Structure 1
Amino acid sequence: MTCYNCNVPFTTENSSEEHILPQGIGGRLTSTELLCRNCNSKYGSTIDKDLSKQFESFVALLRLKRQRSKELPILKNLISPSGKLFTLKDGRFPEPVHSPVTKTANGYSINARNEEEFQAILKGFKKKYPGSDFMEMENKVERSSSYMEEPIQIQMNVGGDSLLKAVGKIALNYYLSKHGDRKYVTPLLDFINGNLNNDEYVHHHLIEPSISWNPREVSHTICLQGNPDTHTLVAYIILFSSASYIVNLSETYAGPSCSYTYCYDVMTHQEVDKEVSFFYPGRTAYKTAILTTKVKDEMAQAIRSSLKSATSRILGLVELFQYEDKIEETGVEAIIEVLGPNFDEEEISNESVNKILAVFNQKIGPFLIHFFNKHKKLSNRSSQ
């Protein structure tokens, strides 16, 4: 076996585990028969990195658990309608870019997302003003909690040659992992390596109407079809159930007729059995069609509409997942507050249950009020 990029034979020293889909976007399917360590590293630090960067908003908001990247991407310079800047470090709670400490008539106002962050800010105060009586100050702290009422804007731009090269590499990885013949895919590899311009070898596409998703599904899908009669080898790829692409691997294909589909839910870490059918006339016919300005514009509009609709669905799931996380976390906090961290489930009395429910209701109340008020505002906006 040799590396499909540089043709170096694999050894124990240079072999590597290549992700078919980049692990930066949650991919877990791998092969050790594709790339040597050097080529794996080269692609990983360039086009794969660029693809992951473009989808980092989805990764952060979905709080995606990845194999190697343990930390979530930090989303910076998010802006509210009033012009305030925020940073999103944990996918959930925006923090202001400017200092969370402001001077007031009665002392200082400290904005923190949680008690741990408050203590960290207070620790910084102690270092800055070592002579102050912080024990007394902490005893006088008046705590209050609230939720942001302003929405923040997250911009997401998906496109460019680097991204399309990475998408082409996904298709190439998948085809070769099925023991495909490299002699058919030379033009695509040349495009990926920058030796050939992208003459519609890889391009954006819309999500086919025939494709459906499970209610909570966020998946990556690869559908590969090879037809020796038409000499075409084509892949249809959908990332995050949202952004879809066509990859023309070959127009000289003479291998066996083939049809493979791989669908992986990045939230459940499970493969999904999915029926995928798509019609694509081939690269030459597609190029001819988009020579007409009207057809090209209509296609671009259809792709934008498809991406917008799919993204709205994902953002709805983000809100659902984060709502469920908040309910679960608040329940755990209430239990620990009443029973302590080391409690025996079998010895929980009815009185303890009632106390837990009381604490839970007190903690969750402000969140639910904020949640329903936000939906009311959004509903009013959409009806105007």
Structure 2
Amino acid sequence: MKCYRCEDIINDKNVSEEHIILNACGGRLKSKSLLCKKCNSIFGDKFDCELAKTTNDIANLLMIKRHDGIPQPISTTRTSTGEKYYLEYGGSPVQAKTNYKIIPEDSTKSRLMIDAKNRKELKKTLIGLKRKYPTIEVEKILDAAEERRFYINDSFEINSHIGGNDVFKSITKTAINFYIHQGGSRAYIKHLLPYLEGNIELDIVWMHYPDKDIYTPAKDEVSHVLKIVGDSKEKILYAYVELFNLHSFIIYLNESYDGVDIDNDYIFNVHNYEVTKKRTHIRLSRAGLTDLFTNKDAKPFEKVKKRYARILTIANKQQDKHQIHKIISNAIDNSLGLLPEGTVIDEKVLNSMINKLMERMMPFIAHRNNIKNIN
């Protein structure tokens, strides 16, 4: 096989595994027959990182599992106070910075109050304060510090966006990858390589949210959707890319297509990792495809709001499952897990485990009820 960018033969020395859908989005469709190691690095460094960054919030909220690593925390704002927080993988909010107050009590003594997200940040803050207040005893305060875990019954604001030149180029590369992976010819996409390399600008990608969904997922399904269509009669080659059943794009790959007819789908469930055999519903004429770019939808995000609400509902369910699993695991570890090997599990031991489980579960249930009332 040849690298479709530089046309070098791919061998053991330059082979590179290319994610057709980004690893950052939880993509599992891969190939070692698309790009050599050098070209993969060039494309990835240029624009894939931008798509990864702009889809990180959804990947985090949905608790997407990658081949390598997990989604990064999301920068967010607590609605009631305006404070900056981070939402970690799993939905836990963590304050962005350490807060402290120095309260004078008399002419010789003051009280120091510090609220840090962890012991490391507390120590860092204390060391900084000691430069100004030499009498602060860092280790003594660290020894006296208490860890508190509690639920925040409040909402958080997330600024989510998608689009821009780099994102469009990454989406184009996804479409090209899928086309070549399905047996397509480099001859029909080689004119797009200067666009990916940043040497020319092309108007070939736009967000696409038709009134009727191209793919209808099941109730709690979240999927990535790829479609490639080659129509020799209309002389067009185009692709459709849908990420998380949320962000959708149409890509005009070739307007002089005279190859074989193509109508291939790939639909991947990001939670159970299954590839479904269901089909998408999109068939554009040459005039219809041209019109999408001539008369672009000026406000595509108006149509995505309903999709976003659906994704957040699914994300809440995923995070609740995750929290319940953690609660049960901790209850077992802190009861049965502390027993010597060979201990008989009698009624007393089971009751102890149940009590520990309820100690953690009841605050969680109360928190979820409060959040429902807030929403």
Q: TM-score range with shorter-chain normalisation?
A: 0.7 to 0.9
Which whole-Å deviations, capped at 9, do the CAs of 1:78-105 have from their partners, x for residues lacking one?
3534221112343522222231454578
The one-letter code sitting in structure 1 at the alignment partner of 2:12 is T
Query: Which one of the candidate residues 195, 205, 211 is aligned to 1:191?
Result: 195
Which whole-Å deviations, capped at 9, do the CAs of 1:227-247 have from their partners, x for residues lacking one?
212222221110011111111
Matched residue SS, 2:330: helix
Aligned pairs (5 A) from 1:354-369: 354-369=351-366
Deviation at 1:124, TM superposition (A): 5.4
Matched, 1:224 2:228: yes
Aligned to 1:263: 267
Q: TM-score, normalised by structure 1?
A: 0.84
Which whole-Å deviations, capped at 9, do the CAs of 1:341-377 have from their partners, x for residues lacking one?
5677994323322222222222122221121111112
Structure 1 unaligned residues grouped into runs of 5+: 379-384
Structure 1 residues 103 and 325: CA distance shift in structure 2, 3 A: farther
The one-letter code sitting in structure 2 at the alignment partner of 1:363 is R
Q: 1:135, 1:38 → 2: CA distance?
A: 49
Structure 1 residues 85 and 181: CA distance shift in structure 2, 3 A: same
Structure 2 unaligned residues grouped into runs of 5+: 131-135
Structure with higher RCO (Cα < 8 A, 6+ apart) = 2
Structure 1 residues 20 and 346: CA distance shift in structure 2, 3 A: farther
Aligned to 1:156: 160
Matched residue SS, 2:334: helix
Matched, 1:204 2:207: yes
Query: Which one of the candidate residues 283, 304, 320 is aligned to 1:323?
Result: 320
Deviation at 1:55, TM superposition (A): 0.4
Q: 2:342, 2:266 → 1: CA distance?
A: 42
Matched residue SS, 1:45: helix
Query: How well do the aligned residues superpose, as a CA RMSD in angstroms?
Result: 2.8
Aligned to 1:75: 74
| Count of matched residue positions in the alignment of Structure 1 and Structure 2 | 362
The one-letter code sitting in structure 2 at the alignment partner of 1:268 is N
Aligned to 1:253: 257
Aligned pairs (5 A) from 1:272-291: 272-282=276-286, 285-288=288-291, 291=294
**C-alpha contact (below 8 Å) 1:72/1:91 kept by paired residues:** no
Q: TM-score, normalised by structure 2?
A: 0.86
Q: 1:245, 1:94 → 2: CA distance?
A: 32
Q: 1:376, 1:319 → 2: CA distance?
A: 15
Q: 2:38, 2:205 → 1: CA distance?
A: 25
- The percentage of aligned residue pairs carrying the same residue is 26
Matched residue SS, 1:46: helix
The one-letter code sitting in structure 2 at the alignment partner of 1:137 is A
Matched, 1:240 2:237: no
**C-alpha contact (below 8 Å) 2:78/2:154 kept by paired residues:** no
Structure 1 residues 38 and 144: CA distance shift in structure 2, 3 A: closer
**C-alpha contact (below 8 Å) 2:98/2:121 kept by paired residues:** no
Matched, 1:63 2:67: no
Structure 1 residues 247 and 342: CA distance shift in structure 2, 3 A: farther
Query: Which one of the candidate residues 305, 310, 332 is aligned to 2:302?
Result: 305
Aligned to 1:381: none
Q: 1:134, 1:324 → 2: CA distance?
A: 37
